[in-house]
């Protein structure tokens, strides 16, 4: 199939959308283009935005690229050079205006651009907006545009071959089944593969493309900074960047208007191409009521529309732009935690002057083929994050700077964004052309994104400082050289450039890193994974993931995770029937993490008995279920560990942990990964668990040897920093001056109920009631020896027979928690539990909310509901049942009916794996 003729060359003459606004004429070139394989001479019709894979898929010339081993079968596609071409109309007016240009918001990646056969420009960076002067090449009437792309794989290899020295890593590890030299091209790094994704190095026009003409100038970017003064009045600093005709000066009026208020500014301006920006500082009177933007769970996400207009002096031309603005302040506090400076520094965020515990995850591209990521899908994934009490996502540095819809949605939902620049897990070249391209990239992306209140920090790269120091890629072979390159790129170029473009947000060189400590050590710390500074990335494979003692105690954990498999329903869409067993060749091929499938079985065996059904497909389903449990239990244990340490320091200075962001939120394809949301949006068990371990009020028990420790955590309460008068040790205490005395209807004082059950009975053995009153955001409220508890409850048969359940007065209302006293594989009493769906009832007229009742004859653990043929989610899942019935809700993504939903539902518990 790779060698056959795909189709005839088609010259497109479809009608274009031509818009004239205040003298500025815009011709939209999105839509149908001819996509040609220049090596084989074959063509198809493809959509723009798009790429050559989706063009071939849309023309039914290839199968789903994600099916089985199609990433290997279709490798030839990325080795060929592809071109995009079409025709468009240019009017007499457009040719007669001072500027006629082609604006490419995103070219992927290395390309030459031709108008009527004449070269008008080149690109080498996927993350840059290119504007090409086409006036010398265009004619009145029909014009042809052709963009000739080079194979990213071959280009990157050529760049590596031409380099003066090896810039590591040259290739990914074999398990990634990827392509080499991704670091030599400014392109989505993970499109060359990762340990959670396939290699599909795309070519194409991946963002909007249009022709525009004007006489005087058009607005390119509007950036904003919101500054809160000591008198609680706001200043809005706005910078307007214009595209001005070459060799001319432009005069006119600039107007800035904050919608819904009386705030306006109007002034004359004079601009040239060399001096094409205008800074406007507006002091907002205190009489204008400005509402703050807050992260999810801490207040409202109030947004204001900011309108900017430029009108030329002759009144014949106008350009306008609207951005959404949120008023908030952000700072990263890195003070010494104690008078003893050897105990390190804090690393936490203050939003609007309030310390905020960061609860969230990490975002990767939602598809290798970015044109398939629709605004509705972005909304679905970010809404899923907000629904489980997340307030932050890290846009990871091996993907892309996300779409406007992504950041707009984050603004609306209160999801703060930790924004990496797109450098990840590699060293990078520092020759002049590469650095010039990076400078354009940083400038463009900061100006494009700066107005979003959700973005709270810029980070230079993902893991490159740690990789350099630990010699992941043999950097020790010439450490002086690679360290110099690292500092040249991040400290020498990026840091001052970001500081120039955005003074309102913190910038760190790397994640993980030691923050200000790394800076004081010259930009590269001796140990950029310290628990006493900055942030860490923490992965604890093949260790007891369910024990608190497994995990370190950092200031901030911005990455940590465990793998699991996606659901059987998700996998069967891209597996053949014979592939659907755990040890199949395809299932091993799909696992990019080295020895990942063995590792997953080893993790299961720590906590559970391995599945052993003779039906291999059922055994695969049971294995999937158990991997999702181990992932959920492990991330729960680690997250709650971090939340418990937010308000205390140990003797060595560890503690004051103020961030927990697990790896990773979403999937790029259907495979075993670290994600809590499957490709397509289905919630794994981890995502349901996240709703509890990120809850605003959390009961957090754990075993410390033979002792049961229970913390109560309420980290969304407004807090203030408190310093011990003698030691100067820092803690966070509730700010009672705010008048907030309730937490979701629950008081800051009350009763913790501790109940012991045997695994084979709904009747409690014993209960204890502990009074509590929260003086800090994370506080130990119950502590007792396990043996003492068992003795008092008459659980005389041992830890295998009993467990503890916790609630605050009502066992049917959240928050609740449970704690086994041993590993689940040792538990006695669950073997014969039978769970089933007892009833389904519609609860709303829109046919999208349903009550589902589950019944069990014995205590059931990790009760898991699936609605196989109906897309949606449950209010809770993976739960414990300590009574014969439990009601949950199902939220259907589309209208359905009771019969359809009932027939789609299945339920299982841990007991079903073993009988």
267: CATH: 2.60.40.10
Q: Give the end of a domain, one of 213, 243, 267.
A: 213
Q: Answer yes or no: is 558 within a domain.
A: no
The answer to whether residue 824 sits within a structural domain is yes
Q: How many CB atoms lie within 10 A of CB 818?
A: 17
* Residue at which a domain ends, from 213, 229, 246: 213
Token reading at 483: 């360290």
Rounded Cα gap, residues 630 and 624, in angstroms: 10
What is the pLDDT, as a whole number, of residue 741? 42
Domain boundary among 189, 213, 237: 213
Same domain assignment for residues 237 and 197: no
Token pair belonging to 834: 């039978």
- Residue 153: other Cβ atoms inside 10 A: 22
Q: Decide: helix, strand or coil at residue 678.
A: coil
Grouping H, G, I as helix, E, B as strand and the rest as coil, residue 579 is helix
Segments of the chain scoring below 70 in pLDDT: 1-21, 736-747
190 and 142 within one domain: yes
Catalytic residue from among 317, 559, 603, 776: 559
Residues 6+ apart with CB under 8 A from 636: 689, 692, 693
Specify whether 254 is located in the same domain as 284.
yes
pLDDT at 6: 32
pLDDT tens string 173-230: 999 999 999 999 999 999 999 999 999 999 999 999 999 999 999 999 999 999 999 9
User: What is the pLDDT at residue 7?
Assistant: 34
The answer to whether residues 230 and 141 belong to one domain is: no
Domain match, 194 and 282 both: no
Residue range(s) defining the domain that contains residue 319? 216-325
Is residue 679, in this structure, part of any structural domain at all? Answer: no
Both 170 and 275 in a single domain? no
Pair 745, 810: CB distance under 8 Å:
no
Q: Is 678 a catalytic residue?
A: no
Let me know whether 228 and 206 are in one domain: no
Contact 190, 178 (CB under 8 A): no
Which residues have a Cβ under 8 Å from the Cβ of 439 and sit 6 or more positions away? Answer: 493, 497
- Residue whose tokens read 């209140």: 453
3-state SS, residue 587 = helix
Q: What total of structural domains would you count in the chain?
A: 3
Token pair in block for residue 95: 């040719």
The torsion angle over the Cα atoms of residues 542, 699, 694 and 456, rounded to 10 degrees, is -110
Does the residue 792 lie in any domain? yes
Is residue 463 annotated as part of the catalytic site, yes or no?
yes
Cα separation, 379 vs 295, whole angstroms:
17
Ranges of beta strands (E only) in 7-98 are 17-21, 24-28, 31-37, 42-48, 82-90
238 and 307 both lie in a single domain: yes
Q: Cite the DSSP H helix spans in 550-703.
A: 568-571, 585-590, 596-607, 616-644, 685-693
Which of 101, 463, 640, 678 is labelled catalytic? Answer: 463
Q: Are residues 228 and 288 in the same domain?
A: yes
CA of 866: how far to CAs of 350, 565, 730, 870, in Å? 40, 15, 46, 9
Confidence (pLDDT) at 846: 76
Is 529 within 8 Å of 344 (Cβ atoms)? no
Q: Is 487 inside any structural domain?
A: no
**By 3-state DSSP, what share of the chain in percent is helix, strand and coil, each rounded to 5?**
25, 35, 40
- 309 and 168 inside one domain: no
12 within some domain: no
Average pLDDT, the chain: 94
């Amino acid at each position: 199939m790779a060698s056959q003729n795909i189709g005839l060359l088609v010259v497109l003459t479809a009608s274009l959308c031509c818009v004239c606004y205040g003298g500025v004429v815009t011709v939209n070139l999105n839509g149908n283009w001819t996509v040609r394989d220049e090596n084989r001479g074959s063509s198809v019709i493809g959509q723009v935005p798009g790429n050559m894979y989706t063009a071939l898929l849309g023309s039914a010339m290839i199968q789903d690229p994600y099916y089985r081993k199609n990433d290997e079968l279709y490798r030839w596609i990325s080795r060929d050079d592809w071109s995009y071409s079409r025709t468009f109309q240019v009017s007499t007016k457009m040719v007669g205006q001072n500027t006629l240009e082609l604006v490419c918001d995103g070219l992927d990646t290395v390309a030459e651009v031709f108008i009527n056969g004449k070269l008008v420009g080149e690109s080498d960076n996927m993350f840059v907006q290119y504007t090409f002067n086409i006036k010398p090449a265009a004619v009145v009437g029909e014009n042809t545009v052709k963009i000739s792309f080079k194979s990213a794989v071959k280009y990157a290899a050529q760049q590596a071959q031409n380099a003066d020295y090896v810039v590591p890593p040259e290739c990914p590890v074999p398990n990634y089944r990827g392509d080499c030299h991704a670091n030599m091209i400014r392109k989505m790094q993970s499109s060359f593969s990762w340990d959670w994704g396939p290699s599909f190095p795309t070519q194409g026009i991946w963002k909007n493309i249009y022709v525009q003409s004007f006489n005087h100038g058009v607005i390119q970017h509007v950036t904003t900074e919101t500054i809160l003064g000591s008198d609680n009045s706001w200043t809005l600093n706005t910078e307007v960047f214009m595209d001005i005709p070459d060799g001319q000066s432009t005069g006119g009026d600039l107007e800035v208007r904050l919608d819904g208020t009386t705030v306006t500014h109007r002034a004359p301006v004079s601009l040239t191409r060399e001096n094409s920006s205008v800074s406007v500082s507006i002091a907002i009177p205190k009489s204008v009521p400005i509402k703050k933007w807050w992260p999810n769970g801490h207040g409202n996400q109030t947004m204001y529309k900011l309108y900017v207009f430029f009108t030329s002096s002759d009144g014949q031309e106008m350009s306008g732009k609207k951005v959404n603005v949120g008023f908030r302040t952000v700072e990263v506090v890195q003070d010494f935690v104690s008078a003893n400076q050897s105990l390190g520094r804090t690393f936490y965020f203050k939003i609007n002057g309030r310390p905020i515990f960061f609860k969230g995850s990490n975002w990767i591209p939602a598809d290798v083929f970015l044109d398939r990521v629709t605004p509705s899908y972005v909304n679905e994934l970010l809404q899923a994050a907000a629904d489980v009490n997340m307030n932050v996502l890290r846009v990871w540095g091996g993907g892309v700077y996300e779409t406007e819809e992504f950041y707009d949605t984050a603004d609306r939902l209160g999801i703060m964004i930790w924004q990496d620049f797109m450098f990840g897990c590699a060293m990078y070249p520092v020759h002049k052309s590469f650095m010039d391209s990076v400078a354009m990239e940083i400038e463009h992306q900061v100006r494009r994104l700066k107005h979003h209140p959700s973005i709270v920090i810029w980070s230079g790269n993902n893991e490159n400082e740690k990789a350099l120091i630990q010699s992941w890629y043999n950097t020790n072979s010439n450490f002086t050289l690679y360290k110099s390159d690292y500092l040249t790129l991040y400290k020498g170029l990026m840091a001052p450039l970001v500081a120039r473009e955005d003074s309102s947000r913190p910038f760190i060189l790397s994640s993980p890193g030691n923050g200000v400590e790394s800076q004081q050590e010259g930009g590269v710390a001796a140990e950029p994974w310290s628990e006493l500074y900055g942030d860490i990335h923490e992965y604890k494979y093949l260790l007891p993931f369910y024990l608190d003692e497994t995990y370190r105690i950092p200031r901030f954990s911005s990455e940590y995770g465990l793998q699991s498999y996606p659901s059987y329903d998700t996998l069967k869409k891209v597996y053949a029937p014979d592939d659907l067993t755990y040890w199949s060749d395809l299932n091993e091929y799909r696992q990019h993490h080295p020895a990942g499938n063995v590792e997953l079985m080893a993790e299961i065996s720590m906590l559970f008995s391995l599945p052993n059904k003779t039906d291999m497909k059922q055994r695969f389903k049971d294995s999937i279920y158990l991997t999702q449990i181990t992932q959920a239990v492990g991330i729960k244990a680690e997250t709650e560990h971090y939340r418990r340490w937010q308000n205390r320091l140990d003797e060595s200075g560890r503690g004051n942990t103020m961030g927990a962001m697990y790896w990773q939120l979403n999937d790029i394809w259907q495979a075993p990964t670290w994600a809590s949301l499957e490709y397509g949006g289905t919630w794994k068990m981890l995502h349901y668990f996240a709703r509890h371990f990120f809850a605003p009020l959390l009961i957090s028990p754990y075993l410390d040897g033979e002792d049961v420790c229970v913390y109560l955590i309420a980290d969304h309460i407004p807090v203030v920093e408190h310093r011990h008068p003698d030691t100067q040790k820092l803690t966070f205490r509730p700010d009672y001056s705010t008048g907030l005395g309730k937490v979701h209807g629950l008081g800051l004082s009350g009763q913790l109920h501790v109940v012991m059950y045997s695994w084979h009975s709904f009747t409690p053995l014993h209960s204890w009631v502990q009074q509590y009153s929260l003086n800090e955001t994370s506080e130990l409220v119950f502590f007792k020896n396990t043996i003492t508890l068992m003795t008092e409850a008459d659980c005389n048969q041992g830890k295998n027979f009993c467990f503890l359940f916790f609630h605050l007065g009502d066992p049917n209302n959240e928050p609740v928690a449970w704690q086994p006293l041993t590993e689940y594989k040792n538990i006695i009493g669950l073997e014969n539990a039978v769970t089933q769906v007892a009833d389904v009832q519609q609860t709303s007229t829109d046919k999208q909310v349903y009550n589902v009742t589950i019944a069990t004859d014995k205590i059931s653990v990790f009760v898991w509901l699936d609605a196989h043929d109906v897309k949606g989610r449950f209010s809770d899942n993976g739960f414990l049942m300590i009574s014969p019935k439990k009601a949950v809700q199902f939220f259907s993504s589309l209208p359905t009916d009771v019969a359809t939903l009932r027939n789609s539902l299945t339920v299982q518990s841990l007991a079903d794996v073993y009988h």
